Amino acid sequence: MTKDKQIFLSKIPSVDELLQNPITKRWEENYPHILILDAIRSILERSRKAILRDNDLKEDSVTLSQDAILSEVETELINLSKLNLHSLINATGIIIHTNLGRSLLSDAAIKNIQDVAESYTNLEFDVGEGRRGKRHSHVEEVLCRLTGGEAATVVNNNAAAVMLILNTLALGKEVIVSRGELIEIGGSFRIPDVMERSGAMLREVGTTNKTHLKDYRDAINSDTAALLKVHTSNYRILGFAEEVSLEDLVELGREKGIPVIQDLGSGCLVDLRRYGIDGESTVQESLRLGVDIVTFSGDKLLGGPQGGIIIGKKSYLDKIRENPLARAVRIDKMTLAGLEVTLREYFDEKKAIKNIPTLRMLCQTLEEIEERARRIVEGLRETINEKRLDIQIKDGISLSGGGALPLGNLPTKVIAIIPKEIKVTEFEKGLRENNPPIIVRIKDEEILLDPRTILEKDIEIIIEAVRRIVKR
Ligand SMILES: *Cc1c(COP(=O)(O)O)cnc(C)c1O
Tell me: the pLDDT tens digits for 210-263?
Answer: 999 999 999 999 999 999 999 987 777 778 888 899 999 999 999 999 999 999
Strand, coil or helix: what is 269?
coil
Tell me how far apart the alpha carbons of residues 113 and 122 are, in angstroms, rounded to a whole number.
14
* CA 317 to centroid of ligand 1, rounded, Å: 19
Q: pLDDT class for 7, splitting at 50, 70, 90?
A: confident
Pocket test for ligand 1, best of 233, 261, 266 (most atoms within 8 A of CB): 233
Task: Average the pLDDT over 400-405 and give the result.
Answer: 81
Task: Please report the pLDDT score of residue 232 as a whole number.
Answer: 85
The helix-helix angle for 33-53 and 3-11 (nearest 10°) equals 160
Q: pLDDT class for 471, splitting at 50, 70, 90?
A: confident
Task: Average the pLDDT over 298-306 and give the result.
Answer: 97
Residues in the chain: 472
* CA 64 to centroid of ligand 1, rounded, Å: 54
CB 246 within 8 A of CB 291: yes
Task: Please report the pLDDT score of residue 185 as a whole number.
Answer: 78
Number of neighbouring beta carbons within 10 Å of residue 96? 26
Task: Please report the pLDDT score of residue 312 as a whole number.
Answer: 98
Pocket test for ligand 1, best of 102, 166, 177, 189 (most atoms within 8 A of CB): 189
Tell me: the pLDDT tens digits for 319-329?
Answer: 999 999 999 99
Percent pLDDT > 70 in the chain is 97
pTM of the shown model: 0.93
* CA 190 to centroid of ligand 1, rounded, Å: 10
Task: Please report the pLDDT score of residue 351 as a whole number.
Answer: 97
Residue, of 192 and 116, whose pLDDT is higher:
116
Q: Is the CB of 297 under 6 A from ligand 1?
A: yes
Whose CA is closest to atom 5 on ligand 1?
158
- Nearest in space to 347 (alpha carbons), one of 113, 154, 149, 144: 144
Q: Which atom of ligand 1 is nearest to the CA of 234?
A: 15
Task: Average the pLDDT over 135-158 and give the result.
Answer: 97
Q: Is the CB of 453 under 6 A from ligand 1?
A: no
* CA 186 to centroid of ligand 1, rounded, Å: 9
Q: What CATH code would you report for 107-355? A: 3.40.640.10
Q: Is it the case that residue 59 has pLDDT exceeding 80?
A: no
Question: CA 358 → CA 165, 274, 292, 303, 367, distances in Å?
Answer: 27, 16, 28, 5, 18
Q: pLDDT class for 407, splitting at 50, 70, 90?
A: low
Q: Is the CB of 157 under 6 A from ligand 1?
A: yes
CB 147 within 8 A of CB 291: no
Tell me how far apart the alpha carbons of residues 136 and 311 are, in angstroms, rounded to a whole number.
12
Task: Please report the pLDDT score of residue 453 as a whole number.
Answer: 98
Q: Which atom of ligand 1 is nearest to the CA of 307?
A: 7
State whether the Cα torsion 78-79-80-84 is positive or negative.
positive
Tell me how far apart the alpha carbons of residues 65 and 196 are, in angstroms, rounded to a whole number.
61
Whose CA is closest to atom 14 on ligand 1?
265
- Nearest in space to 340 (alpha carbons), one of 305, 296, 293: 305
293, β-bridge pairs = 261, 312
* CA 439 to centroid of ligand 1, rounded, Å: 24
* CA 194 to centroid of ligand 1, rounded, Å: 11
Query: Which of 108-117, 270-279, 387-396 is the least confident region?
Result: 270-279
Task: Please report the pLDDT score of residue 3 as a whole number.
Answer: 77
- Nearest in space to 186 (alpha carbons), one of 350, 23, 404: 404
Q: Is the CB of 263 under 6 A from ligand 1?
A: yes
What are the sequence ranges of the domains in the chain? 3-81, 89-96+363-471, 107-355
Residue, of 384 and 155, whose pLDDT is higher:
155
Q: Is it the case that residue 380 has pLDDT exceeding 80?
A: yes
* CA 182 to centroid of ligand 1, rounded, Å: 13
Task: Average the pLDDT over 408-426 and give the result.
Answer: 92
Task: Please report the pLDDT score of residue 237 as a whole number.
Answer: 76
> Chain-wide mean pLDDT for the chain?
93
* CA 283 to centroid of ligand 1, rounded, Å: 15
Task: Please report the pLDDT score of residue 64 as a whole number.
Answer: 78
Task: Average the pLDDT over 335-340 and give the result.
Answer: 98
CATH (one of 3.40.1050.10, 1.10.3720.10, 3.40.50.300, 3.90.1150.180) for 89-96+363-471: 3.90.1150.180
Whose CA is closest to atom 13 on ligand 1?
265
Q: pLDDT class for 366, splitting at 50, 70, 90?
A: very high
Q: Is the CB of 189 under 6 A from ligand 1?
A: yes
Task: Please report the pLDDT score of residue 60 as a whole number.
Answer: 62
Instruction: Please name the amino acid found at residue 231.
Output: H
Query: Which of 57-66, 296-305, 426-435, 458-467 is the least confident region?
Result: 57-66
Q: Is it the case that residue 205 has pLDDT exceeding 80?
A: yes
Q: Is the CB of 195 under 6 A from ligand 1?
A: no
Tell me how far apart the alpha carbons of residues 330 and 49 are, in angstroms, rounded to a whole number.
48
107-355: same fold as 89-96+363-471? Answer: no
